[in-house]
Structure 1
Amino acid sequence: MKRLYFLLSFVLLLLIASCKGFDDSPKALVNVLLIDAPAEWDSVIVEIRGVELDFVPDAREGTVEKIFLPYEPGDKEVDISQLVGGTALPVARSEMHMGQISGITLRLGTKNALYLDEDRYPLDLPGGNTDYALPLSLDLEQGISYDLILDFDLEKSIQVVNSSPLELDFNPTLSAFSGVGRGDISGTTSPTSIKPAIYAIQADDSTSTHTNSSGTFLFRLEAGTYKVYLDPKNSSYKDTLLNVEVKAGTTTTLDRITFSKK
């Protein structure tokens, strides 16, 4: 009987010890995704090291914690010019306690390059700066999964300084936002041999993208009315302008857009 008593006591102690190491506090799931608004290059390779979140825990107003989430794959050189038509790169994923994310920093490496006609052109970061901090405001609630979107706008990030020989200025231009309250514009253009630049314009602000190999493009935007301007980048075809309303949580799918010849 004494042996049974001691055995039960030992098992109870093990259960208590294991419970002390278990964190059952309320959490939210945070997914960090990278998308691209690409320029007209064959490919743009960017080295992704990870992201750092500015986090203010509940009941600790004014206390900002820095939480670094590494990009886990061994090959950290990513062709971000392929992130079009709804394709996104999962950069990091983590459970987090309740609180507010007040900012996000994309941490890059130095192995960045542009490829054009099989030629490689290095993209040097201005001043050697590898960290790009962006404002963000997101309150985390228990049991909710959140998408944090980093939009890397290559159209604005890469400028041609000299065309012959080709010289480039690389100044990463990004925006960050939560997927909460946003809506999508999805469309397809033809002929697919054309690689148009597509702009969603609202007042004095605009964002741009290109199509993938199937002619598909996608914008993720705040609710509102936008002018969608499609520049065929081909002098044989006419440009196109559309008015599109974006509703939160809804994908607005446009009829196929066929470019007309001049």
Structure 2
Amino acid sequence: MKRFYFLLPVLFAVLILSCKSFDESPKALVNVLLIDAPATWDSVIVEIQGVELDFVPDGRDGTVEKIFLPYEPGDKEVDVSQLVGGVALPVARSEIQMGKITGITLRLGTENALFLDEDRYPLSLPGGNADYSLPLSVDLEQGISYDLILDFDLEKSIQVVNASPLELDFNPTLSAFSGVGRGDISGTTSPTSLKPVIYAIQAGDSTSTHTNSSGGFLFRLEPGTYTLYLDPKNTSYADTVLNVEVKSGSTTTLERITFARK
């Protein structure tokens, strides 16, 4: 019994020291999301290992730290062709100290494949390169939640080298941006049986998306005026062109877009 009571003050002191050692520095919440993919293929499976952030802590200019955030699910093979119409895949989430994120790297695995008519076609990474780095500029402020968006553009990433037999070239093409200050364009097309590709064009640059099974689509863009070019990918229907203004922090919802028959 005497030994027990002797240890109590020691244990209490250890607990106090442990509580004081908790990191109470100000932090921001960072969410990394993966979006977008075309409906050209039945499904495209990409193995995601996680993301790595380039981070410069406050007061330490010139010192870049690497912060790896793993994709936690045991099954890391993701059908990215389902990420349309505003659907996003949460890749990672973490609290990070004050500072600046200057870049992001998506780390892929080797189990990448395309499925067409129940046939599987492996997608080999060029040169075995698994890391795809992109510039980013996000100043973190205390108590703010930031969405970092990775847009995996499969329309540009997968090219048909030979039609019969089918041969594919896989070169992952991505863009990265913060959701802060952006605005959305939301719309629906019909007939829903079509699988149109939709381009948002500004100053000679463009980004693309496709519709989901209900004909819905969504863009998240910098404020400004964009030309929407809708290609029905069906020679029986005519293309459609619209001019749309995007406002920061708001969603521009379009009236249903019906493709006209030629």
Scaled by the length of structure 1, what TM-score is found?
0.95
Following the alignment from structure 1 to structure 2, what is the Cα–Cα distance between the partners of residues 253 and 191? Answer: 18
Question: Which residue of structure 2 lines up, in the alignment, with residue 53 of structure 1?
Answer: 53
Deviation of 1:18 after TM superposition, in Å, equals 2.8
1:54–1:104 Cα contact (<8 Å) kept? yes
Following the alignment from structure 2 to structure 1, what is the Cα–Cα distance between the partners of residues 46 and 63? Answer: 33
Alignment of 1:209-248 (within 5 A): 209-248=209-248
2:38–2:81 Cα contact (<8 Å) kept? yes
Alignment of 1:61-140 (within 5 A): 61-140=61-140
Superposed CA deviations along residues 94-136 of structure 1, whole A, max 9, x for unmatched, are 0000000000000000100001111111101000000000000
2:29–2:144 Cα contact (<8 Å) kept? yes
Scaled by the length of structure 2, what TM-score is found?
0.95
1:196–1:233 Cα contact (<8 Å) kept? yes
2:39–2:195 Cα contact (<8 Å) kept? no
Deviation of 1:204 after TM superposition, in Å, equals 1.2
Deviation of 1:10 after TM superposition, in Å, equals 5.9
Question: Which residue of structure 1 lines up, in the alignment, with residue 141 of structure 2?
Answer: 141
1:183–1:248 Cα contact (<8 Å) kept? yes
Superposed CA deviations along residues 208-252 of structure 1, whole A, max 9, x for unmatched, are 010001100000111110000110011111110000000011110
Deviation of 1:24 after TM superposition, in Å, equals 1.0
2:39–2:211 Cα contact (<8 Å) kept? no
Following the alignment from structure 1 to structure 2, what is the Cα–Cα distance between the partners of residues 7 and 170? Answer: 63
Deviation of 1:11 after TM superposition, in Å, equals 7.9
Following the alignment from structure 1 to structure 2, what is the Cα–Cα distance between the partners of residues 39 and 208? Answer: 12
Following the alignment from structure 1 to structure 2, what is the Cα–Cα distance between the partners of residues 204 and 169? Answer: 26
Kindly provide the amino acid, as one letter, of the partner of residue 240 in structure 1. Answer: T
Question: Which residue of structure 2 lines up, in the alignment, with residue 254 of structure 1?
Answer: 254
Following the alignment from structure 2 to structure 1, what is the Cα–Cα distance between the partners of residues 71 and 173? Answer: 20
Question: Which residue of structure 1 lines up, in the alignment, with residue 20 of structure 2?
Answer: 20
Alignment of 1:28-43 (within 5 A): 28-43=28-43
Q: Which deviates further from its counterpart, 14-23 or 219-228?
A: 14-23
Deviation of 1:7 after TM superposition, in Å, equals 10
Kindly provide the amino acid, as one letter, of the partner of residue 59 in structure 2. Answer: A
Q: Which deviates further from its counterpart, 38-47 or 17-26?
A: 17-26
Deviation of 1:55 after TM superposition, in Å, equals 0.5
Superposed CA deviations along residues 149-206 of structure 1, whole A, max 9, x for unmatched, are 0000000000111111111110000000000111000000111111101000011100
Following the alignment from structure 2 to structure 1, what is the Cα–Cα distance between the partners of residues 44 and 236? Answer: 27
Kindly provide the amino acid, as one letter, of the partner of residue 241 in structure 1. Answer: V
Deviation of 1:19 after TM superposition, in Å, equals 2.4
2:37–2:82 Cα contact (<8 Å) kept? no
Identity of aligned residues (%): 84
Superposed CA deviations along residues 68-89 of structure 1, whole A, max 9, x for unmatched, are 0000000000000000000000
Following the alignment from structure 2 to structure 1, what is the Cα–Cα distance between the partners of residues 11 and 243? Answer: 68
Kindly provide the amino acid, as one letter, of the partner of residue 196 in structure 1. Answer: P
Following the alignment from structure 1 to structure 2, what is the Cα–Cα distance between the partners of residues 80 and 120? Answer: 15
Gaps of 5+ in 1: 1-5
1:39–1:154 Cα contact (<8 Å) kept? no
Following the alignment from structure 2 to structure 1, what is the Cα–Cα distance between the partners of residues 148 and 7? Answer: 50
Kindly provide the amino acid, as one letter, of the partner of residue 232 in structure 1. Answer: P
Kindly provide the amino acid, as one letter, of the partner of residue 169 in structure 2. Answer: D
Gaps of 5+ in 2: 1-5
Following the alignment from structure 1 to structure 2, what is the Cα–Cα distance between the partners of residues 97 and 237? Answer: 52
Deviation of 1:207 after TM superposition, in Å, equals 0.5
Question: Which residue of structure 2 lines up, in the alignment, with residue 199 of structure 1?
Answer: 199
Q: Secondary structure at the match of 2:87?
A: coil
Following the alignment from structure 1 to structure 2, what is the Cα–Cα distance between the partners of residues 18 and 115? Answer: 52
1:195–1:232 Cα contact (<8 Å) kept? yes
Q: Secondary structure at the match of 1:74?
A: coil
Deviation of 1:139 after TM superposition, in Å, equals 0.4
